[in-house]
């Protein structure tokens, strides 16, 4: 995904990841665009084509944003109902277990799906359908095998090692481990669908259909039995993912065959792994910040506090929806302006975009601080004790909205390697701070770690943008809009 960061209630959020991955060869593409711009501008048909491409891009972005908002609304409602129906203790066990499923899936996948855009994009450009077929086939084989190995290893650790995991997590964690192989396939098929621009197949199964199936199953169970447990919810999650992956695979296989035909598969497995592996650490930070924090909190705190921290984090991250709304418009326009060498208008666009992010973001933070106890109380009275954590996490977003779209600026201008370096470092810093602060200050310590790391990566990217692009992106750069 991203996120990016994208708002990710149960683990699949890749929009921000794709921003980095799809710009990996942006220096070359921008150079080519600048070289061809003069001749293209004299060609009416080419101009019409460029407008059509931009219109198509904006339409696809709008569709994906709507699906993400609607899917996140379903997931948010699911979290709300689970909190009220199960209570903080059972919810804490569930979110901790599923967070392990998500993080382990990302790690054992070795970043393979992160190479999808580059591998399939280049293969389509060169009409190497044999490589496309080989990449997809090898991905399915490798990810399924790695998932099964992970299940065997970690189930053994879970069953034969004492003291690593609290015994009350055991059954739910076992179900979460069993989910890993099918979850890996779901993520991989999603990335391939995105690479082919099959937007409906990319976003609907895991962002709309699966959460809807899960919500329906939970609602029926609650109203028929009057009870829910973490084990039962994790089992429903597993069955929902399996059902979606099975149906998606049937459609996916036909669409892929229509592209590659009966071409024999060719394999460049080591090369593909080398492309994706360097992106593994930044992807973990960008897409799975919530899950990493939940796991770190779960090492030191009881399930009730895990649930309270998780809910506080996810509600505070609602602010990122507004960030992505602005970014979905900013990104394609910024890429075109940079390709044209129009740095003055890029500065103006950046300044306006930061204003559009900052003031609504500031308003959201103020509302969250003023109404925080009421908002958390909607999930249940036991969640109100997380108010200070919620306020701290909301405030952390002020760094992002006030500094502006610095990561996107680096990505669309061919400086994405800097983003990868910054986010990789930020992940390491976050884990170190969690280990130090959480045992001492509890949930507040984890929230303080998030604030420090959010400020850290934002200011670092800001310095890189100023150094390499000479652009002033912060909320204080409003005067640049009129130069």
User: Three-state SS string across 87-120, please?
Assistant: HHHHHHHHHHHHHHHHHHHHHHCCCHHHHHHHHH
Q: What is the pLDDT of residue 143?
A: 93
Q: What is the pLDDT of residue 17?
A: 41
d(CA 328, CA 15): 10
pTM, full prediction = 0.81
d(CA 99, CA 11): 8
Q: Where are the domains of the chain?
A: 74-279, 288-483
Q: What is the pLDDT of residue 46?
A: 42
Q: What is the pLDDT of residue 480?
A: 56
Q: What is the pLDDT of residue 199?
A: 79
- Flag residues of the chain having pLDDT under 70: 1-62, 64-65, 163, 478-483
């Amino acid at each position: 995904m991203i996120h990016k960061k994208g708002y990710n209630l149960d683990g699949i959020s890749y929009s921000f990841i794709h921003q980095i991955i799809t710009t990996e060869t942006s220096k070359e593409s921008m150079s080519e665009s600048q070289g061809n711009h003069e001749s293209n501008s004299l060609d009416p048909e080419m101009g019409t084509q460029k407008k059509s491409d931009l219109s198509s891009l904006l339409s696809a972005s709008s569709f994906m944003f709507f699906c993400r908002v609607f899917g996140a609304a379903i997931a948010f409602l699911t979290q709300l109902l689970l909190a009220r129906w199960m209570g903080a203790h059972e919810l804490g066990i569930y979110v901790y277990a599923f967070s392990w499923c998500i993080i382990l899936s990302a790690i054992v996948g070795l970043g393979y799906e992160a190479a999808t855009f580059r591998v399939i994009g280049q293969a389509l450009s060169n009409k190497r359908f044999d490589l496309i077929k080989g990449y997809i086939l090898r991905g399915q084989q490798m990810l399924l095998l790695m998932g099964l190995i992970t299940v065997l290893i970690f189930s053994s650790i879970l069953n034969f090692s004492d003291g690593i995991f609290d015994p009350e997590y055991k059954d739910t964690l076992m179900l979460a481990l069993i989910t890993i192989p099918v979850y890996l396939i779901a993520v991989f098929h999603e990335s391939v669908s995105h690479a082919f621009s099959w937007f409906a197949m990319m976003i609907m199964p895991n962002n709309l259909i699966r959460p809807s199936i899960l919500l329906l199953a939970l609602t029926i169970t609650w109203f028929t039995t009057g009870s829910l447990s973490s084990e039962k919810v994790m089992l429903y999650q597993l069955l929902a993912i399996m059902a979606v992956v099975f149906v998606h695979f049937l459609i996916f296989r036909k669409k892929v065959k229509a592209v590659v035909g009966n071409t024999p598969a060719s394999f460049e497995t080591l090369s593909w792994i080398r492309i994706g592996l360097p992106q593994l650490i930044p992807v973990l930070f960008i897409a799975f910040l919530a899950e990493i924090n939940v796991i770190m909190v779960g090492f030191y705190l009881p399930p009730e506090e895990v649930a309270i921290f998780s809910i506080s984090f996810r509600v505070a991250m609602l602010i990122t929806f507004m960030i992505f709304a602005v970014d979905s418009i900013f990104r394609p326009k910024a890429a075109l302006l940079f390709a044209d060498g129009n740095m003055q208008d890029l500065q103006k666009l950046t300044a306006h975009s930061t204003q559009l992010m900052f003031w609504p973001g500031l308003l959201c933070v103020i509302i969250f601080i003023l109404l925080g106890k009421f908002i958390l109380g909607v999930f249940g009275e036991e969640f109100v004790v997380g108010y200070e954590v919620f306020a701290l996490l909301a405030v952390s977003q002020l760094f992002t909205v006030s500094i502006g779209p610095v990561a996107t600026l680096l990505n669309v201008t061919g400086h994405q390697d800097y983003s990868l370096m910054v986010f990789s470092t930020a992940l390491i810093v976050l884990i170190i701070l969690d280990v130090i602060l959480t045992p001492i200050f509890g949930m507040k310590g984890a929230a303080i770690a998030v604030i420090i790391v959010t400020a850290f990566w934002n200011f670092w990217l800001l310095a890189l943008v100023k150094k390499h692009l000479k652009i002033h992106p912060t909320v204080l750069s409003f005067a640049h809009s009129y130069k």
